[in-house]
Structure 1
């Protein structure tokens, strides 16, 4: 049964994939194609129970396996794969925790510096701008399966903010958010909601 608030205007529901071993360990997991944990698979099923009765105009998904698996277990087995929805390229930070990176680079800040041999937030914002432009063209409800930093940067760009302002938006595995417009202005309608999760 759909438990989302009743929105009487177009909206975009942004879903972060379920838990992986790296996300559970609070490690950066970008382009390395990890699988969901058993808990992550259960989270994906909870997402489906929450969202499957909505009449979605479009369902878009990152090409990475953890996002595609989340969509499938949620009951959306044939989403449109959108390359630009992939996670941030963490380069040399892949698989490390923030604490490990800071032990090597004490002055490092993700949102200011990006990742060595990876992306900067500005570069990720440029590819996600293409997604934002497309999302603005829809007239109904759109469902998006993606990743933590990708969603945070996409949301900043949706609001017309610089990509690095994604730092303001925390996002947990299998949580969902809703963005849209109100009186012509981009808005956040729901953020980092996990009330659908059974555990």
Structure 2
């Protein structure tokens, strides 16, 4: 592990898809970016240009890979652990629709039928965090729920704390250090 303050992680949530616009859980369904999603990815390029990254990673899913490519990082390395939370029977279903079945349902607090549970996603994120801590400045293109879990695991918090972090499509967040303490430098910008 690098010394505190020696690593920094830039997180990019992919651009908008039809299902992200509709607030539907999207994991294994490999959707394309909408026109707004492509525009958001293009807008990332000047924000990221000029910053040197030691490691650039992407989820294997098209929406993240396309965002990386359009933003100027076509050579991003695929890390399968950055795959979005596997939603199982909730794939394509909104939280509102799930709450008609189970009062108060969220991925953070309830079972995800046929899919990954929060601790499963945390284990994947922990492996990525370990890799990122040794990498200097990194850039990661991935997904809303996965990136929220990754961020709180960077901070040393329980994965369920990710529920408190809103993360919009096409945004940049930065994780780093406050002296020797892992910290959020910028979020959802």
TM-score normalised to the size of structure 2? 0.94
CA-based RMSD of the aligned residues comes to: 1.2
- Matches of residues 103-182 of structure 1 in structure 2 within 5 Å? 103-139=100-136, 141-182=137-178
| Larger RCO (CA under 8 A, 6+ residues apart) | 2
1:5 corresponding residue in structure 2 = none
Structure 2 runs not aligned, ≥5 long: none
Q: Deviations over 1:117-173 (max 9, x none)?
A: 00111110001100000111123x211000000000001100001111111111000
Structure 1 residue 106: Cα displacement: 2.1
Structure 1 residue 27: Cα displacement: 0.8
Q: Deviations over 1:82-118 (max 9, x none)?
A: 0000100111111111111111222423211241000
2:72 corresponding residue in structure 1 = 75
Looking at structure 2, the residues matched to 50 and 108 of structure 1 have their Cα atoms a distance apart, in angstroms, of 36
Runs of 4+ in 1 over 6 A off after TM superposition: none
Looking at structure 1, the residues matched to 162 and 81 of structure 2 have their Cα atoms a distance apart, in angstroms, of 17
Looking at structure 1, the residues matched to 53 and 12 of structure 2 have their Cα atoms a distance apart, in angstroms, of 14
TM-score normalised to the size of structure 1? 0.90
- Matches of residues 96-107 of structure 1 in structure 2 within 5 Å? 96-107=93-104
Structure 1 runs not aligned, ≥5 long: 1-7, 194-199
